[in-house]
A = this chain, B = another copy of it.
Amino acid sequence: MDPETDALNELHRRLSGLRDGRVADYIPQLALADPDDFGIALVSMGGNTYRAGKADSVFTLQSVSKPFVYALALGDLGPRETLRHVGVEPSGNAFNAISLEPGTGRPANPMINAGAIATTALVRADGPAERFGRILACLSAFAGRTLDVDEDVYASEAATGDRNRALAYLMRSAGSLRADPAEAADTYFRQCAVRVTAADLAVMAATLANGGRNPVTGVRVVAEPDAVRTLAVMATCGMYDGAGQWLLDVGLPAKSGVSGGLIAASPGRFGVAVHSPPLDASGKPVRAVAALGEMAERFGLHIMHNSGLHAATVTGAERVEREGRTVGVVTAQGRLEFTETEALLYALRDLTPPPLGRLVLDLTAVSTVLPGAATALAAVLADLVAQGHRVAVAARLTFEAVGEERPRTWQVFGTREAALTWAAGADGA
């Protein structure tokens, strides 16, 4: 198993013990959810999916649908016209969520229910069936597979959706909603009842992180500027009243839903999704929030320390002849965080097809290795040694892999030259 999966498994194992929160019960179908369902999935920009736990359990999108339909509406109307109907400001607190902007009658943003209903109504279509058809097709393209509706959940939402209907009527009376209120609410109920898995959500989030192109299918779902805009709105409005705290702690645009789903996107790096039904008092899934918090800290994902210049880069992957033997040398520089480590690991694998057996990893220009990256790196190096490769690392720093249990079987040297010499030595594979 790859080290990313190991890391997710370790995280999953630890957080499974977290038993706080309550499964949403405002409609009977949500109350049926298994509180022990707990899945994590991560999709990189390279299209690789990593999973832990029940990442294939099926649940309904609920509010996680909001950013995707917003991106669709942006494409239909353009940002200026969309902004005329739905604002982009955080609403302050959940209780205010009913208030519309004085003067314009706009809902504060597309991540609260009022704004989401208005957004749904903006999707271009000749009628409600076509509108929902386009929404479902868009969600499916984000996920990379054909999604469908949980009709029982939809029926329940429709039966108990008075508050959402109230919002729709309110917006029409305020002039910010031109569509039929009952119909707009109904389409919104259907979109909330679309079925997904954590693995689907991770692909959907990764599509936003990848500028609107699905990194698994390669299909462009929305234009890049619309993906960027959607992430910007998620960053300030996605986590309701705790937007500031979330950006401080986790530092990634995110969105959660009452069925227990939570997505987050690291622009240009990956999308992640966690599913676990029990919710905290503010309606966020307890284990999902904890998981994102830990991942942010261990993998250095915070958007405010993402760095261009200082980011580590694989600066070389070459075959060097030394003492008549061929040595694969991978060189990196800068700071090893999650994304760069993945690139490094792929470069290593590309250079190590059988029967090649001598390998140098030159990290002398690397300034920092985050714990999560170190764990991943150590696991791969150990695997390579176990497969019979002769592996040397040149590094100026020593790094400790968190939770590492296996003894270190690869050699570490202070300089590239020393590493190369040893790797090319006679006792090699």
A interface with B by C-beta (< 8 Å) = 45-46, 79, 87-93, 95-96, 98-99, 102, 109, 162-163, 165-170, 172-174, 181, 211, 224, 227-229, 231-233, 235-237, 241-245, 247-248, 251, 253, 267-269, 302-311, 313, 315-316, 337, 339-340, 343
Not counting A98-B170, A232-B302, A308-B308, a sample of 4 additional A-B residue pairs whose C-beta atoms are within 8 angstroms of each other reads A89-B244, A90-B244, A91-B92, A267-B304
Chain B proximity of A84: nearest CB distance (Å): 13
Q: Smallest distance from the beta carbon of A347 to chain B beta carbons, Å?
A: 12
Instruction: Tell me the smallest distance from the CB of A63 to a CB of chain B, in Å.
Output: 17
Instruction: Find chain B residues with CB under 8 A from A310 CB.
Output: 45, 268
What is the oligomeric copy number?
A: 4
Contact between A247 and B236, CB atoms less than 8 A apart: yes
Contact A89 B242 (CB under 8 A): yes
Please give me the 4 A-B residue pairs with the lowest Cβ-Cβ distance, nearest first: A268-B307, A92-B92, A166-B169, A163-B173
Q: How far is the CB of A313 from chain B (nearest CB, A)?
A: 5
Residues of chain B lying within 8 A (CB to CB) of residue A302? 228, 232
CA distance A174 to B224 in the complex (A): 41
Which B residues lie within 8 Å of A174 (CB)?
Answer: 163
- A308/B339 in contact, CB under 8 A: yes
Contact of A98 among B98, B211, B315 (CB under 8 A): B98
The answer to whether B309 touches A308 (Cβ under 8 A) is no
Q: What chain B residues lie within 8 Å of A109 (beta carbons)?
A: 244
A167, A224, A243: residue with the most chain B Cβ atoms closer than 10 Å: A243
When distances are taken between beta carbons in the complex, the residues of chain B under 8 Å from A244 are 87-90, 109, 232-233, 236-237
**Residue contact B305 to A308, C-beta cutoff 8 Å:** no
- Report the minimal beta-carbon distance from A282 to chain B, rounded to whole angstroms: 12
Instruction: Check B245 against A89 for contact (C-beta < 8 Å).
Output: yes
A183 to chain B, nearest CB (A): 13
Q: Is the Cβ of B247 less than 8 Å from the Cβ of A232? A: yes
Smallest CB separation, A81 vs chain B (Å): 14
Report B-chain residues with C-beta under 8 Å of the C-beta of A235. 235-236, 247, 304
